[in-house]
Structure 1
Amino acid sequence: MKMRALLLATSLLISAFGAAQAAEIEKPNLTLGVGGKPLLYYLPLTLAERLGYFKDEGLTVEINDFGGGSKSLQALIGGSVDAVTGAYEHTIRMQEKKQDVRAVIDLGRYPGIVVAVRKDKADTIKSAADLKGAKIGVTAPGSSTYILVQYLMKKAGLNPDDASFIGVGSGPSAVAAMQKGEIDAISHLDPVISKLQDLDAIKVLVDTRTTEGTQQVFGGMNPAAVLYLKESFIKANPNTVQALTNAFYRTLKWLETATPEQVAATVPQEYWLGDKDLYIKAFNASRQAYSTDGNIDEASMKSALNLLTTTDPDLSAANIDLSKTFDGSFLAKAKAKQ
């Protein structure tokens, strides 16, 4: 009887400890927005979900997939999602609009965006300077794919309104738009780009999936996908934000050593666009773009700011405090936990 009582007491103690741990998470049920979840740009999100890392942190995360990054940002500002995996540049743009939105971990150190031209236009469109009058496909107007091609055009002496921008989505619809001749050029991500390359439908002009290609465009790193939230949510739910950061940092470390075959086996098969080998090829092409430590340094912040001020003359660098766009305190704790 004493042993039974001891076991019961131990069981109750463990349950109480578990309940106390669960109580630490202020909001265990979360809604997270993303603009094109199947894209390799957002691979760490899918991996964190599929590997069970959110659940391990005591979180139940509902993922809402929007048509593009700009739409997921709108959902965060509107209050229909709690957090977003989206482009770091959104944290800068929101500060200009007096909206305090902060990244807590970097998922992609390079944009991973490719600008390419339809193969039968390759003789006339050889660089960004030749995009005048072109119909350019992007994931969605206002998204990072849209902003990057505008940046390239401005550097080449063109204005953003010198071309037409068409939202083609993030999956098969983007491939179809190019195949049907609905667009002359495309600014997009993998696996869409690798699929179009495999079809011999495009010629690449700019490639920021790699270290070399990103340095050619920006002169260094340029942060891409991050986890960002409203500062008000961060202050009200610090343990929840820590749990999210822990899950994503653990994912980055898994991704650092995972084989392409392991990655392909982890994501949903529909992400392969009907071809597993092609997905593996696409992952290999984009692998350098993923962050290994989750941090955003000052030089990378300035690079992102320059991208925005170049494309938007109304955005003044003087009004931006870059230190408020990234909160590294949660990342530091996540690293200490690993």
Structure 2
Amino acid sequence: MKIAVFSCKPYDKRTLSNHAHDTHLTMTFFESRLSMETIGLVQGFDAVSCFVNDDVNAEVVRCLKKQGVQVIALRCAGFNNVDLDAAKAEGIEVFHVPDYSPTSVAEHAVALIMTLNRKTHRAYHRVKEGNFALEGLMGFNLEGKTVGCIGTGRIGAAFCRIMKGFGCHVYCFDLHPDPALIDLGCEYVILDDLYEKSDIISLHCPLNEFTHHLVNKHTLDKMKDGVMIINTSRGALVHAQEAIDALYSGKIGYLGLDVYEQENAIFFEDMSSHIIQDSVFQLMLTFPNVVVTGHQGYFTIEALNHIAATTVDNLLHHDAETSQTRRLA
């Protein structure tokens, strides 16, 4: 089987090559993202492997079918960038990686909380310059604070367990409550109660028509003044401009993002010598109480190896009954 691997960085190539060794898979690696502009690269391949910012819309899916592609193997859990209905209509199987060390993303969410709270990013630069003054670095104890977790799948559940370890009171919202979290002492509430009572709100839900711009002016008005918002899920869960308005007013006291709605134009690339053509994003970076990372929440050696192993397994067994739980279309 010949596979075209898109959005491939050196670390992807290393892990995928290691796990595909001694198999019948032949992988060709492209740093380019899959889109209509790059669809010509798939000629002669049986399958494609894509990542979070590849654009696998209906037109791309139809072109894949014409090129003879049988399988789309995503190297991520989310699949909002793939037109599943089109894939089903064309008879193309779509697989994802539903569980790739959920603790990696959960721990990164906690890292954003700790950085924003204790201002370690600012303290690091001060000390490097010989400035040991503490003024402006005041934080707060996490113990006793109320943390709201929206979405309690594998990642959200891992996040809740960590925050309970800090001694926080944890409110949860999910359409399918997790009995294990209830036994741990987490409390499932309606969204309005979570908004009203939480000091920190962390997003761990998928992006769909119901969660698009979940954090917006209307929902922010229901939250505490100075609330901390953390998003390590999908960028479009947060309405960026309305979040900026809330930063100006003080409604948002801290904002930690590992994802951004328009990230596909900038993330995963070295943009240090370019002018970023996104005034909203550039403005957001000017706030001292905002920390943005470049979609690195998943980026641990354990997660990368698991992604590679699952992707290879999906490709090897895409017709097998054992892969049915991972099949999306």
Please state which band the TM-score falls in when normalised by the shorter chain.
Answer: 0.3 to 0.5
Q: RCO (CA 8 Å, sep 6+): is it higher in 1 or 2?
A: 1
TM-score calculated relative to the size of structure 1: 0.34
Whose helix fraction is larger, Structure 1's or Structure 2's?
1
TM-score calculated relative to the size of structure 2: 0.35
